[in-house]
Amino acid sequence: MAQATLSIDLDALTANWRALDAKTATETAAVVKADGYGLGAPRVGRALARAGARRFFVALAEEGAALRAELGPGPEISVFSGHMPGDTDMIGDCDLVPMINSIDQMLRHVEALPGRPFGIQLDSGMNRLGMEPAEWAALRDIAMEQNPTLIMSHLACADEPEHGMNPQQLRAFREMTDGLDVPRSLAATGGVLLGPAYHFDVTRPGIGLYGARPFLNAAPVVQLDIPVIQIRDVEPGETVGYGNTWTAERPARIATVAAGYADGIHRIMGPKTVLFAEDVPCPIRGRISMDLIGVEVTELAEVPETLQLLGPGQGVDVLADNAGTIGYEILTGLGQRYHRRYRGG
Ligand SMILES: *Cc1c(COP(=O)(O)O)cnc(C)c1O
């Protein structure tokens, strides 16, 4: 079998949720948008619910409807994109809580689903989603009469603790919400780590659950083992892969493994990235292809059946650095071709 195996450690996932929960005195929700950051929202959601998470956030109502089918009634499922045209049946039937982003969404919600729960999303400076201060000032009294279940906003720079944007957004959020008798939420993973002033009533970690920065003490959740299809010896002067970008300077042994950029292993990470045979790092040689990668295994006495791209030797954040991106993009880019194997949970 040439299919690579993406192992997902649900015990590490729930340990990360508990560790982030232990950093606050308030409720810890779980963000499982984008298919649980690429790891599989059904299994991730069920494991977190069993671990005690009672509130989940997704980006789209469609994601919320699918999650409701997995979790059954009970856990609160909130939708960041709010109440869009066409969402009403999903929100109503699947008991979703839209985070209302505008006066238009507010009108749509109270007209289509009067009395049904909703939250409010405010823009405290990121200029992405949520009501602006002036819009909120105009709507606030009417909205409060409808008893929102949560008021939230999102930090733009929480992964940089010293950034002046953090206290600025905190001030803006407080100015818009102080004195209102509604639970509040400002912190994602980065905000949890900024300290109690940012915690309010509900925190919304995502990336930290999945084992990546900025939660530096996170337990690693993913491991990726890629089968070796073929091994060959090359002479000095021979090249490997498309474009002849690597030339052997001495006799070398090359293993061809069965994954590539179609599986989220971006070409740009090739030059800095290794695969591990136990604890021996084996460098990528030549360009990463769509489905194949050349790896130099000259140093190995014996080439194992699989080489490891993600694991103890090289985590999500290292791959992100090698690709000039962030762990979020590595995780959500992991392709659909892997055999996803779940452990624990
Ligand atoms: C994605 C997202 C989160 C989770 O953020 P992490 O940095 O992954 O913890 C929380 N809130 C909102 C609004 C988001 O879009």
Answer whether 154 contacts ligand 1 (Cβ < 6 A): yes
CA-nearest residue for atom 3, ligand 1, is: 188
3-state SS of the chain: helix, strand, coil percent to 5? Answer: 35, 25, 40
The residue extents of the domains of the chain are 9-210, 222-343
Q: Could you please state the CATH topology (level 3) that the domain comprising 9-210 is classified under.
A: TIM Barrel (3.20.20)
- For the residues 296-306, what does the mean pLDDT come to? 98
Q: What is the pLDDT of residues 181-218, one digit of tens each?
A: 999 999 999 999 999 999 999 999 999 999 999 999 99
Rounded to whole angstroms, the Cα distance separating 315 from 4 reads 17
- pLDDT score of 43: 98
pLDDT at 15 over 90: yes
- pLDDT score of 345: 82
- Is this model's pTM higher than 0.95 or not? yes
For this structure, is 261 an active site residue? no
C-beta of residue 267 within 8 angstroms of C-beta of residue 288: yes
Q: Report in angstroms the alpha-carbon separations of 277 from 128, 216, 230, 306, 310.
A: 43, 25, 15, 8, 11
Answer whether 204 contacts ligand 1 (Cβ < 6 A): yes
Rounded to whole angstroms, the Cα distance separating 228 from 126 reads 45
Rounded to whole angstroms, the Cα distance separating 103 from 108 reads 9
Q: What is the pLDDT of residues 36-88, one digit of tens each?
A: 999 999 999 999 999 999 999 999 999 999 999 999 999 999 999 999 999 99
For this structure, is 338 an active site residue? no
252 alpha carbon – ligand 1 mean position (Å):
45
Residue of 57, 121, 202 to mutate, ligand 1, most atoms within 8 A of C-beta: 57
Q: Which of 33, 261, 328, 342 is catalytic?
A: 33
162: left (phi over 0), alpha (psi -120 to 50) or beta: alpha
Q: What is the pLDDT of residues 310-329, one digit of tens each?
A: 999 999 999 999 999 999 99
In angstroms and rounded to an integer, the radius of gyration of the C-alpha atoms of the chain is 23
Domain 222-343 has CATH 3.30.70.1710: no
Burial 245-273 (b: 16+ CB within 10 A, else e): ebebeeebbbbbbbbbbebbbbeebbeeb
Mean of the per-residue pLDDT values of the chain: 98
Q: What is the pLDDT of residues 234-290, one digit of tens each?
A: 999 999 999 999 999 999 999 999 999 999 999 999 999 999 999 999 999 999 999
Question: DSSP assignment of 282-319, as one string?
Answer: EEEES---SS-EEEE-TT-SS--SEEEEEBTTB-HHHH
- pLDDT score of 126: 98
DSSP bridge pairs for 239: 247
Q: What is the pLDDT of residues 127-167, one digit of tens each?
A: 999 999 999 999 999 999 999 999 999 999 999 999 999 99
